[in-house]
Structure formats: C-alpha cells, structure tokens
C-alpha cells in the first residue's frame, strides 16, 4: 500500500500506522524500525553527553538497520558495508570503552534485545516471548 508517513528513510502505510495505534495493536516491522531510527539517535546522543561524567555507565544502541545487516547468513553478509559503518561508529563512540552495547533484532513483528555487557563480561538476551531472559 502507498506510504502514509515517511520518516528517517522509512515508509509506513496507513494500515500499519493505524494498527499500531489500536489498544494491543500490531506493531509492524516498518513502524518499529521508524520509531527506532528516530529515537536511537536521541538515546545515543544523550548517552554520549552523560558519559562525560565518570560515574555514568557508558552505553550505545546500534540502529535496527545496522543490526539487520549484521545478522545476515554468512553467504549474504556484506562485510565491507558493515565494517565501514562500524568503523564510523567506533571513531565517534570508542566501542571498546563502552560498558553496554545494545542490538535490537526485529523480524516478523518479533523483537529481541541483545546486550553485550562489558562490565560483567557477559551477553544478555531479552526475548519478550520467553518468560525470562538469558545471560551467558
């Protein structure tokens, strides 16, 4: 269906937008991707500003677009594109010095949050369809 709303390079149909606004409505991948694209910049900018204080936990969230590139099967993985993007982020954020790095995976209206927790040297996996969360 035609675009009802275009934001951050994402096109949202009226049907998807309408469904997301209903109580307990379906939030489609396109609606969530648009929301993430518009809010992860604000989140990361705020975290970067806060990280100037020594006692604040330093964190960064990768955009849905980058995460979707990183989770491709090996035969479809475009390493040069990802490497270029991650190097640009690293130049600005110094990824190795962060405490928490988040990756949001969105597929078929299912969302999973992965957190690389460098403070505790573990990976946390949060899946709303499971009754708990997993850490390794």
Q: Where are the domains of the chain?
A: 29-135
Question: Which pLDDT score is estimated for 123?
Answer: 92
As a whole number of Å, the CA-based R_g of the chain is 16
Q: Give counts: helices (H), strands (E), the chain.
A: 4, 7
Question: Which pLDDT score is estimated for 133?
Answer: 53
Stated as kind and residue range, the H or E segment containing 78 is none
Question: Which pLDDT score is estimated for 74?
Answer: 79
Which residue, among 90, 136, 96, has the nearest Cα to 118 in the 3D structure? 96
Question: Which pLDDT score is estimated for 132?
Answer: 56
Question: Which pLDDT score is estimated for 136?
Answer: 54
Question: Which pLDDT score is estimated for 13?
Answer: 84
Question: Which pLDDT score is estimated for 116?
Answer: 92
Quote the strand ranges of 23-121, DSSP E: 59-62, 100-107, 110-117
Q: Cβ atoms within 10 A of the Cβ of 85, count? A: 16
Strand-pair partners of 3: 13
Question: Which pLDDT score is estimated for 92?
Answer: 84
CATH code for 29-135? 3.30.310
Residues of the chain with pLDDT under 50: none
Question: Which pLDDT score is estimated for 122?
Answer: 92
């Amino acid at each position: 269906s035609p675009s009802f709303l275009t934001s951050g390079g994402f096109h949202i149909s009226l049907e998807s937008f309408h469904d997301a606004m209903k109580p307990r409505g379906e939030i489609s991948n396109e609606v969530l991707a648009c929301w993430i694209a518009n809010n992860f910049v604000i989140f990361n900018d705020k975290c970067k500003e806060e990280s100037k204080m020594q006692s604040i936990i330093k964190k960064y969230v990768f955009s849905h677009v980058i995460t979707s590139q990183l989770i491709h099967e090996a035969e479809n993985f475009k390493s040069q594109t990802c490497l270029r993007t991650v190097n640009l982020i690293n130049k600005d954020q110094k990824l190795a010095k962060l405490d928490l790095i988040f990756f949001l995976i969105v597929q078929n209206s299912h969302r999973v949050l992965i957190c690389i927790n460098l403070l505790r040297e573990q990976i946390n996996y949060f899946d709303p369809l499971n009754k708990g969360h997993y850490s390794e």
